[in-house]
Amino acid sequence: MNDNSDILNEIQLDALGELLNIGMGSAAASLSTMVQQEVLLTVPVIRIIHQNDVPKQLDDVPPQKVCGVKQTFRGNFSGDALLLFSEEKSLSLVRAVLGDSIPLEELGEMEEEAITEIGNIILNACLSSLANIFKEHLDSEIPQYLNEDIEQLFNVDNDDDCFVLLLRMSFSIAKQDITGYVTFIMDLESIAKIRTQINNMLGM
């Protein structure tokens, strides 16, 4: 397995985190309009890890299944962007968005639509932020709802070239704090192109 320590250094990761924070600010504003109450999103941690190591990095006790949204993007750098929640956090987020008046049995039926819309807002905001700042054009596919086993989702066989930018973020909606993850699955070539863009931006 390749050593990932030199893929993006601490300065480059911090710069990337700031760029994605711009996207999160835009996403928070859009979500606040959608739910008609203040939504706070933070991106306190960004790391780069091998794809196979993602499940054990999510929580102290990794969820067996996750819900979320996947969006494939292509351009000068390409990959898959995912927004993920544990099943428990996913339902909490949907209830926070839709309100307490929705019966629990109906809540499950509306979960896919609500999570897909939230994922569309957040992932597009992140990708748009990177595309605008790097002056790149990124084509994105239609977001797909996910409800999958976490080990299967990130399992790759003998692929040392597949790494993940992992962002842990916190939602605050209706006085609820809900933890989710934005992940970008990219090969080393795409990560190297992002590194070059960051270095150019920083004058390095």
Q: Is 127 a member of any domain?
A: yes
Structural domain contains residue 5: no
Please name the amino acid found at residue 167.
Answer: L
Residue 145 lies in a domain: yes
pTM for the predicted model, two decimal places: 0.85
Task: Return d(Cα 78, Cα 185) in angstroms, integer.
Answer: 9
State which of 33-37, 81-85, 97-101, 109-113 shows the largest mean pLDDT: 81-85
Contacts of 108 (CB under 8 A, 6+ apart): 91
Which helix (H) or strand (E) segment is 144 a member of? strand 144-149
Q: For residue 2, tell me if it sits in a domain.
A: no
Nearest-angstrom CA–CA distance, 125 and 30: 9
Query: Which three-class secondary structure state does DSSP give residue 36?
Result: coil
Rounded Cα–Cα distance for residues 200 and 148 (Å): 38
Cα 10 to Cα 12: distance, rounded to the nearest angstrom: 5
pLDDT at 6: 54
Q: Does a structural domain hold residue 1?
A: no
| Residues 36, 133, 84: CA angle, nearest 5 degrees | 50
Q: Percent of the chain at pLDDT above 90? A: 25
Q: How many CA atoms lie within 13 A of 165 on its CB side?
A: 26
CATH of the domain at 155: 3.40.1550.10
Per-residue pLDDT tens over the stretch 154-200: 876 655 667 888 888 887 876 777 888 888 988 888 999 999 999 99
**Distance (Å, rounded) from C-alpha 99 to C-alpha 95?**
5
In a domain, 26, yes or no: yes
Task: Show the tokens assigned to 19.
Answer: 């760029």
Residue 111 predicted with pLDDT over 60: yes
> Is it the case that residue 9 has pLDDT exceeding 80?
yes
For residue 196, give its domain range.
10-202
Pairing of strands 162-173, 144-149: unpaired
Query: What's the structural domain count of the chain?
Result: 1
**Is there a domain that residue 53 lies in?**
yes
- Specify if 31 maps to a domain: yes
Instruction: Count CB-CB contacts under 10 A for residue 40.
Output: 13
With beta carbons less than 8 A apart as the criterion, state whether 162 and 185 touch.
yes
